[in-house]
C-alpha cells in the first residue's frame, strides 16, 4: 500500500519553464547518468508521457527504493513487481519514481511514496507475524 505520496509535477513544470525560457541549459536537465539509463532499460516501465524536451519518445519510469532495513537493495532500481513483493515483506521504505528519456537523457523526479510494513517499534511485540 502506498502512503505519503508526494507529486512533483509542479517542480517538473517549473524546471521545464526554466529550460524553455533559456534560464537553464538543456544539458543541465538532460543529464541522466549511465546508471540511470541502464536502470531505465532493465527496470523501467513505459509511460504515456512524451519526453518534454526532445519529444522523440515516451519517457520511462524508474522506481528507486531506499530504506535502512533494505540492506543492499536500498538505493537500487526495482520493477513494479519487485516493489509489490517488497511492500509485503520488507519494513517501511521509500520509493522515488524518476522519469527518464532514453533518447535525450532528460530525467526528473515525478513521485515519491512510502511503502512496506509499519516499523516494528510501533507494532506490539506479541503480535505474531
Kindly identify the residues of this chain, within the stretch 33-72, that bind Zn ion according to CB under 5 A.
Answer: 51, 53-54
CB nearer to Zn ion: pick between 8 and 106: 106
CB nearer to Zn ion: pick between 53 and 97: 53
Q: Is 106 in the site for Zn ion (CB under 5 A)?
A: yes
User: Least distance in Å: CB of 27 to Zn ion?
Assistant: 13
Could you write out the DSSP letters of every residue in 25-81?
-HHHH----HHHHHHHHHH-EEEEEEPTTT-SSEEEEEEEEE-GGGGGGTTEEE-HH
CB nearer to Zn ion: pick between 103 and 111: 103
Q: Is 32 in the site for Zn ion (CB under 5 A)?
A: no
- Return the number of other C-beta atoms located less than 10 Å from residue 82's C-beta: 15
Amino acid at each position: 500500500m502506498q502512503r505519503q505520496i508526494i507529486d512533483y509535477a509542479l517542480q517538473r513544470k517549473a524546471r521545464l519553464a526554466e529550460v524553455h525560457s533559456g534560464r537553464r541549459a538543456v544539458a543541465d536537465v538532460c543529464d541522466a547518468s549511465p546508471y540511470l539509463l541502464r536502470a531505465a532499460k532493465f527496470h523501467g516501465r513505459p509511460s504515456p508521457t512524451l519526453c518534454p524536451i526532445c519529444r522523440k519518445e515516451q519517457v520511462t519510469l524508474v522506481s528507486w527504493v531506499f530504506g535502512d532495513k533494505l540492506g543492499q537493495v536500498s538505493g537500487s532500481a526495482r520493477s513494479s513487481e519487485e516493489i509489490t513483493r517488497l511492500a509485503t515483506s520488507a519494513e517501511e521504505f521509500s520509493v522515488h519514481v524518476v522519469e527518464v528519456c532514453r533518447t535525450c537523457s532528460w530525467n526528473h523526479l515525478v513521485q515519491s511514496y512510502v511503502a512496506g510494513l509499519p516499523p516494528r517499534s510501533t507494532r506490539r511485540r506479541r503480535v505474531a507475524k
